[in-house]
Structure 1
Amino acid sequence: MKKFDAIVLGAGIVGVSAALNLLKRNRSVVLVDRSGAGEATSYGNAGVIEREGFYPIVFPRKTGELWSAARNGEARLHYNARYMPKIAPWLLKLRAASAPRRVEAYAEAMNPILSHAASEHGVLAGKSRALEFYRGTGWLRGHRSVASFAASGPQRALADHFGVRYEILDNHQIADLEPDLAPVFARAVLWPDTVSVSSPGGVTKSFARLFELMGGGLGHGDARSLRRENDLWVVDCASGPVTAPDVVVALGPWSMDVLGPLGYRFPLAVKRGYHLHFKPRGDAALDRPIVDVDHGYVLTPMRQGYRITSGIEFDDRDAPPTPVQIERILPQARALFPIGDPIEREPWMGSRPCFPDSMPVVGPAPRHPGLWLDFGHGHLGFTLGPATGRLLAELITREMPFVDPAPFAATRFRG
């Protein structure tokens, strides 16, 4: 058996960042995954480090919005009807968490760590030579009507409260900023402090290479083999078992595959999503990600091409792909920007691990000494990976945490 100070399960942006932060604190660490770093959810997102992520995705509260969602024909939402009885209890919890006072509490809890998100990325990016992926051009959230723009007022009100910068643009100013966008937006909001990358998977792989260069161990194994033997945690890897007194579960949508057998019943759900890359027509170009708020997708320049990411799909994590949202998005995207032929044959699919209160769990497991949790980041996994990695490493090594960990404690759930 190979002995380490800590085992980190999961080589996405969250797990790699936790492993790096532990290694920086002179812990010997092995990072275990059944595939390569950054090849699952960390590959397929919009690659955005959101400064304004203090406003969560909420349950629709207006009758018209509910009816529109129930019709199951939107680009921003799709569901499998057979799955709805299973997800219904979670959706009821989401609805409760979407009350205005709960949204305000969420914002107060999340803003401190969001304020450090870009800088924590920068710390790891500078050391891993990943800075070439990053761009500080902000991102643009476009609204196709004045009514849609007005509905985003609560997010801007929170930005005012926290002192986060934004700029409101009319259609002429949008054209000055992104000349190749068609004039479909009545208003747009530029968030200049949001950072984006040209390859989220590339960033994660660069972090993993840094981890290995710094002396971290990489193990190919199945996290479901995790077990307690005497005072140590053990995981089986291809090269043999690894042991450590501390183990971190950073498996995103697969976290409950490990925690369920240990008796935990956390209310984790998955929101599936898709992306597809396209060539531009002619010399059309974008300098930053564009959010089409009314249709629920992001169009962003990536190294592979122009990536379109879909909205939310509710279905079993491992059910076959049903990429109907991409088909619904394409007419709107083509009317917005001159995209050409698709680069891949089929859309990529991934799963976002989400709690109903939209916050991750970061910290110790309630009933097992040496078991640490870092998962459930929802739509902010790429944003928060390095920041929660630092927070978790500080908790494990008993340093003073740089933000208050209490809002992210597992004990907020009965499971």
Structure 2
Amino acid sequence: MTRTALVLGAGMVGVSCALALQKRGLAVTLIDRKEPGRETSYGNAGVLAASSILPLNNPALYAKIAGYLGNRHPALNLSLRRASTRPGWLLRFLWEARPSQGLARIAALQALTADTVARHRALMGEAGIPHRLRETGTLKLWRSEAGHAAAQAEHDFLKRHGIESHLLDRQGISGVEPGLKPIFPAGLLIPSVGSVDSPGAVTAAYAALFAERGARIVQAAVTGLSRNSAGWRAETATGGFEADITVVALGPWSGDLLKPLGIDPKLDVERGYHRHLTPQAGSSLTRPVYDVDGAYYIAPMEQGYRVTCGVDLSLRDAPDALRQIDSATAAAREAFPLGAVVGETWRGARPTLPDSLPMIGEAPRHPGLWLAFGNQHVGFSTGPITGEMIAAMVCGEPPPIDPTPYRPGRYIS
């Protein structure tokens, strides 16, 4: 008999899991409260981050903490209510930044991100959207002369890990992106990084491919999950769904669903915001640009030029805190000729674990319950390989990379 699977969550990770399981012959039902690609996978810079191999909580974080206090730095906003509600999580996050963990975390992130462009290129071809992929790299910029040393240090770091990059001075930056204002003396071009013009549309296209191949997508909120004699049952507002296995890929909402099962994955969130703006006449960019000192991306998108901002460590469902996106918008206008804001400011939440690595694997003591969340800032990039890992392990195949660093048992007993 055909094995059956429920995949809960239709972001990039969930859709990728659904496609990979379907490819192996399972009958898969994909369930989410919203249309595919409308939550966390919608709000990012569209970067296929082959160079994002340094965890956010790396040893350099310790030296930056003092500068982050008082919420004056654009890279971080820390809600006192959040800090007082989950102080243990924040302390563990800082503990995981200790130097002894650095090399292993870098290797684990690089294993996930190394072939992200190739995997997305293949999926976009299957989904009929190859035009959405840009292979023009990404540009990282510094506003002060001290940026030359920082760019050199990052260039050397990437070189040690086999990632190509090119150092640029002010003239070189203008040669690569003439639309930028000449306010950046130092830059780094990373050619291997890809990007897309609409992350939400790409995720939706992958989901459409899944449906075209005969599978079912259900738009309904998942309200409960339980084990039964047949496998697993998910309760929704429109009824229950049963299958042999279940994959939980609900991003920042995964912990809510798992808690009644006695599972605490140590999951928390990093909120983020973006805005779309029109360019002034005659101005354009050919790739996403990251302003290190302003802590924002500006990326050409189908909807306009998307400006993102730093991490907002507030409670997941707290009201908007617009300081960072307002700061990023002002800084982006200094760097590139932008016009009017298009639409409303978007806010979302990224699922994060204390060690900055995702949870990929079967839940301890819960056979048939598979976990795929916690991909933090690189979920759009790492969705396809996460899906392949889950599907391979479900089917008893060797996964494409060693799953040990991402095992759920590191936080779930």
Amino acid in the other structure paired with 1:169: L
1:396 equivalent in structure 2: 394
1:369 equivalent in structure 2: 367
Farther-moved stretch of structure 1 (258-267 vs 191-200): 258-267
Kept in 2, the 8 Å contact 1:167–1:189? The answer is: yes
Closer, same or farther in 2 for the Cα pair 1:334/1:151, shift >3 Å? same
After superposition, the C-alpha distances for 1:171-195 in whole angstroms (9 at most, x for unaligned) are 1000001001111112111110000
1:200 equivalent in structure 2: 199
How far apart, in 1, do the equivalents of 2:8 and 2:231 lie? 15
State the shift of 1:104 in Å: 1.5
State the shift of 1:72 in Å: 0.7
Amino acid in the other structure paired with 1:136: E
How far apart, in 2, do the equivalents of 1:202 and 1:63 lie? 38
The 5 A counterparts of 1:13-32 are 13-32=12-31
Farther-moved stretch of structure 1 (16-25 vs 82-91): 82-91
Kept in 1, the 8 Å contact 2:59–2:99? The answer is: no
State the shift of 1:399 in Å: 0.9
After superposition, the C-alpha distances for 1:243-270 in whole angstroms (9 at most, x for unaligned) are 1110000000000011111111122110
- Are residue 171 (structure 1) and residue 170 (structure 2) matched? yes
1:299 equivalent in structure 2: 298
1:49 equivalent in structure 2: 48
Where 1:201 maps in the other structure, the secondary structure is helix
Kept in 2, the 8 Å contact 1:74–1:328? The answer is: no
Closer, same or farther in 2 for the Cα pair 1:68/1:133, shift >3 Å? same
State the shift of 1:56 in Å: 1.5
After superposition, the C-alpha distances for 1:183-224 in whole angstroms (9 at most, x for unaligned) are 111211111000000000000000000000001111122223
Kept in 1, the 8 Å contact 2:155–2:188? The answer is: no
Where 2:223 maps in the other structure, the secondary structure is helix
Q: 5+ unaligned residues in a row in structure 2: which ranges?
A: none
1:244 equivalent in structure 2: 243
Kept in 2, the 8 Å contact 1:59–1:94? The answer is: no
Please, what TM-score do these two structures have when normalized by structure 1? Answer: 0.95
2:282 equivalent in structure 1: 283
How far apart, in 2, do the equivalents of 1:155 and 1:405 lie? 27
2:39 equivalent in structure 1: 40
State the shift of 1:125 in Å: 1.1
Amino acid in the other structure paired with 1:257: D
State the shift of 1:149 in Å: 4.5
After superposition, the C-alpha distances for 1:2-48 in whole angstroms (9 at most, x for unaligned) are x9610000000000000001101111100001110000011111111
Please, what TM-score do these two structures have when normalized by structure 2? Answer: 0.96
Farther-moved stretch of structure 1 (159-168 vs 15-24): 159-168
1:127 equivalent in structure 2: 126
2:75 equivalent in structure 1: 76
State the shift of 1:407 in Å: 0.6
Kept in 1, the 8 Å contact 2:17–2:384? The answer is: yes
Kept in 1, the 8 Å contact 2:78–2:313? The answer is: yes
Kept in 1, the 8 Å contact 2:177–2:285? The answer is: yes
2:410 equivalent in structure 1: 412
Where 1:203 maps in the other structure, the secondary structure is helix
